[in-house]
Amino acid sequence: MFTKTTHMENDVTNRRDFLIKCAATTAGLTTRSVALALTPSSQPLGSTDPMEIVAPELRPALKQVSPFLSRLKYNDASLPETRRLMGTTSPAPLDSPPVTEHLIQGAKGQPDVRVYVAGDSDGSSKPALLHIHGGGFVVSRAKDSLRVIQDMAVRHDCVVVTVDYRLAPETRFPGSLEDVYTALRWVHDREKDLGVNTRRIAVKGESAGAGHAAALAIAARNRKEFSLCLQVLEYPMLDDRTGSTWRLPEQFGRYVWNAEANRYGWTSLLGVPGGSPQVPENAVPARVKDLTGLAPAFIGVGSIDLFAPEDIEYARRMMMDGTAVELIVVPGAYHGFDVLAPDASISRQFTAAWNDAIRRAFTEA
């Protein structure tokens, strides 16, 4: 059990204060849901002031954490140090609700999977949220998200399970997908012990975690064992071709997560270079041709995020294939803006939007 710290209503202030402290020492970066994979771009912009593309209320936070971001490198040689740095960023868990750790049996031929649970109540019938952390497929741990799952458990009076899936490049696809699918199965199998209503299970992820969430929704549809009532995809990492075979205008990915980092993350997961003509089947959500029959989706992304074009296109394709989708594009917002600048009005609106999507799904399911 993990116990520590304050009340949910103070969470935004706590995240902001923790971020300022970390930025001052260039030791870390707080996140609402996970340590995001971060690095600044070295590509020049046409403007004399590159910050002109950033929403004014998001600029101070970005400037403040730039020294830390510059220390994060994404290649095989630098990965251990990047993981160490990102591992210093998680805020302490709260006193309540308690968080419990479980080691669950993996899929056939796969190792056991560690999960953390908040909000469970034996004999209840609560909605459940399966949470998948981000980190470019290569960094971060589920344990970094304990504060996050506590907040969501309280806010939505639900059971939240976060999955410590195996990271790339040590584990290639489909290892991570099998880990998160195993967690989904475990929630179903333990519905009475956890107090879960299996008709109201949603999946949520951020960045690479949102990419995993999208892949899980596709797997759930294909395998026809379990259903999801919603997929919440915050600035999802969906397409390996972005920044490799698909070069974008320079305003995309200038800040926080750039094309070079994206190529490394995807190559690490796939075992072949990002943008290759052939990739493992169903490993890249944007390459899946049929998006019919998927769980309804919330997709949110900033307009200068590297992922903005691919996320908008994925939402369009889902809509055309008959899947209900809510899409929010935040003007002048970079990757992880709501984490770096949680007090900004556009960050608060964004956070309220995805929380409202969860509330509606849990009420209507």
pLDDT digits (tens, 9 = 90+) for 150-188: 999 999 999 999 999 999 999 999 999 999 999 999 999
The per-residue pLDDT for range 113-163, each reduced to its tens digit, is: 999 999 999 989 999 999 999 999 999 999 999 999 999 999 999 999 999
SS3 letters for 211-267? Answer: HHHHHHHHHHHHHCCCCCCEEEEECCCCCCCECCCECCCCCCCCCCCCHHHHHHHHH
**For the segment 305-339, what is each residue's pLDDT rounded down to a tens digit?**
999 999 999 999 999 999 999 999 999 999 999 99
Would you place residue 259 in the very low, low, confident or very high pLDDT band (cuts 50, 70, 90)? very high
Q: What is the pTM of this model?
A: 0.88
Q: CA torsion sign, 204 to 208 to 211 to 216?
A: negative
- Domain extent for 235: 99-364
Q: Is residue 70 part of a domain?
A: no
Local confidence band at 45 (pLDDT 50, 70, 90 cut-offs)? low
Residue 338 lies in a domain: yes
Q: Structurally, how many domains does the chain consist of?
A: 1
Q: DSSP string of 270-312?
A: HSS-TT-S---TTSSGGG-S--TTPPPEEEEEETTSTTHHHHH
Q: Is 14 contained in some domain?
A: no
- Percent over 90 (pLDDT), the chain: 83
Report yes or no on 50 lying in a domain.
no
Over range 192-202, report the average pLDDT: 97
CATH number at residue 254: 3.40.50.1820
Contact by Cβ (8 Å): 121, 129: no
H or E element at residue 202: strand 196-206
Does 125 map to a domain? yes
pLDDT value of residue 364 = 85
- Inside any domain, residue 248: yes
For residue 159, tell me if it sits in a domain: yes
Residue 21 covered by a domain: no
DSSP string, 58-115: GHHHHHHHHHHHTT---STTTHHHHHHHHTT-PPPPPSSS-EEEEEE--STTS--EEE
Q: Which residue has the tokens 């908008």?
A: 312
